[in-house]
Amino acid sequence: MKTDNTIHLISRIHEKANIFLIGKLRGLGMNELAPSHGDILAALFKRNEVTMTEIATLIHRDRSTVTQLVRKLERKGYVFSKENASDRRSSFVCLTEKGKSLEPFFKQVTKDLYTRAYSGMTDEEISRFQQLVGKIYHNMD
């Protein structure tokens, strides 16, 4: 198989997307948030309360990384933890009112990112791209 720079380009796209997101967050005055918080916030926008293990599974990150990111969000007042009555070994992570207030901004920033990334592409090209990237992702397991 011929090699090329596709994996390198995927890495650079990730880097440029993070730079874009940081710029958008700063422009909205959200200097304390980082792109790495986005996956956790997205999971919490979809569900009322989620355990650390569930978040890790949903966002495909290891539990220790999720724990660190959640603790940072907790210190900044975006989330809080509460006891899981059915399993005292785990706790639920929930959004605070401050965290909930981020949802419209989060949706707009996400829309802006995808608008930029998919600029000049047809719906068919976007769909095919998504399929192929999904295949690459699963091949790396």
Nearest to 71, CA basis, from 55, 88, 89:
55
Tens of pLDDT, residues 37-82:
999 999 999 998 999 999 999 999 999 999 999 999 999 999 999 9
pTM: 0.84
Cβ(49)–Cβ(94) below 8 Å: yes
Query: How many domains is the chain built from?
Result: 1
CA distances from 134 to 14, 29, 55 (A): 15, 33, 20
Structure token pair of residue 89: 């070994």
Q: What is the pLDDT at residue 85?
A: 83
Give kind and range of the element (H or E) at residue 86. none
> Taking 90 as the threshold, does the pLDDT of residue 86 lie above it?
no
> Residue 41 falls within a domain, yes or no?
yes
Give kind and range of the element (H or E) at residue 82. strand 79-83
> Residue 82 falls within a domain, yes or no?
yes
Q: Which domain covers residue 18, as residue numbers? A: 6-139
Confidence of residue 100 (pLDDT cuts 50, 70, 90): very high
> Residue 120 falls within a domain, yes or no?
yes
Q: How far apart are CA 28 and CA 64, in angstroms?
A: 29
> Residue 35 falls within a domain, yes or no?
yes
> Residue 33 falls within a domain, yes or no?
yes
The enclosing domain of 84 has a CATH number of 1.10.10.10
State the Rg of the chain over Cα. 17
State whether residue 88 is helix, strand or coil.
Answer: coil
* Phi, psi angles (nearest 5°) of residue 40: -65, -45
> Residue 1 falls within a domain, yes or no?
no
